């Protein structure tokens, strides 16, 4: 095997390993900032994420076949590293999904109540009854970004709404 085959693979494996190690370390600051869990939400199964990690590592291993050009080997390895990053974040969110004292983990790493500028649905809906049947909620952050939170079910949505309405207006 020549360096054009081995170099991207070694860098790809190192990248996958560093992502697997660094995401839990980076996520500790969010957990500390969040405070105590007030309402844990359905956390999901971690098996799919573990299989996704395995698939990403196998994708990087594909570059060791030696039948691809150097550029394609680099692209395949970069795709594997990107997949590991996405999977690690997904696994982190599944582990800590819920409403916390200082914010909420849903499908965005962490949204602090202090970072929420407004929740438009609370402004134009007259009551909680008007929000029935929904499983998503639009949030506007202080920096102007719009984020949509997606919930597993209507029941989960209805459990979170009271915490969001009181957390934002405190």
Same domain, 64 and 93: yes
Residues 115 and 164 reside in one and the same domain: yes
94, 142: one domain: no
Burial class (CB in 10 A: 0-12, 13-18, 19+), 146: exposed
> Within this chain, do residues 42 and 72 fall inside the same structural domain, yes or no?
yes
The residue among 39, 71, 99 that closes a domain is: 99
Q: Which residues of the chain have pLDDT under 50?
A: none
Interacting residues of 11 by C-beta distance below 8 A, sequence separation 6+: 77
Which residues have CB under 8 Å from 102's CB, separation 6+? Answer: 33, 34, 35, 112, 113, 114
* Closest to 40 measured CA to CA, from 100, 93, 108, 112: 100
Please indicate, yes or no, whether residues 70 and 113 belong to a single structural domain of this protein.
Answer: no
119 and 82 share one domain? no
Other residues' Cβ atoms within 10 Å of the Cβ of residue 56: 26
Tell me the pTM: 0.76
pLDDT of residue 58: 93
Do 139 and 164 lie in a common domain?
Answer: yes
Residue 84 confidence (pLDDT): 93
The boundaries of the domain holding residue 31 are: 3-99
Q: Are residues 91 and 25 in the same domain?
A: yes
Domains in the chain: how many in total?
A: 2
| Predicted pLDDT at 12 | 92
Cβ within 8 Å of residue 163, ≥6 positions away: 38, 39, 99, 104
User: Which residues are registered as beta bridge partners of 37?
Assistant: 100
């Amino acid at each position: 095997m020549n360096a054009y085959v081995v170099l991207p693979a070694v860098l790809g494996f190192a990248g996958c390993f560093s992502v697997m190690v660094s995401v839990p370390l980076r996520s500790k600051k969010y957990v500390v900032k969040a405070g105590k869990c007030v309402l844990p939400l359905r956390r999901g199964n971690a098996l799919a994420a573990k299989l996704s990690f395995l698939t990403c590592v196998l994708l990087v291993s594909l570059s060791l076949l030696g039948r691809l050009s150097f550029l394609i080997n680099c692209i395949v390895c970069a795709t594997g590293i990107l997949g590991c990053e996405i999977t690690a974040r997904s696994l982190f969110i599944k582990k800590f999904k819920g409403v916390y004292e200082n914010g909420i983990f849903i499908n965005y790493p962490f949204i602090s109540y202090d970072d929420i500028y407004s929740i438009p649905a609370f402004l134009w809906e007259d009551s909680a009854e008007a929000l029935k049947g929904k499983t998503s909620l639009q949030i506007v952050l202080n920096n102007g970004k719009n984020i949509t939170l997606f919930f597993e079910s209507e029941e989960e949505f209805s459990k979170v709404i009271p915490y969001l309405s009181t957390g934002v207006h405190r």
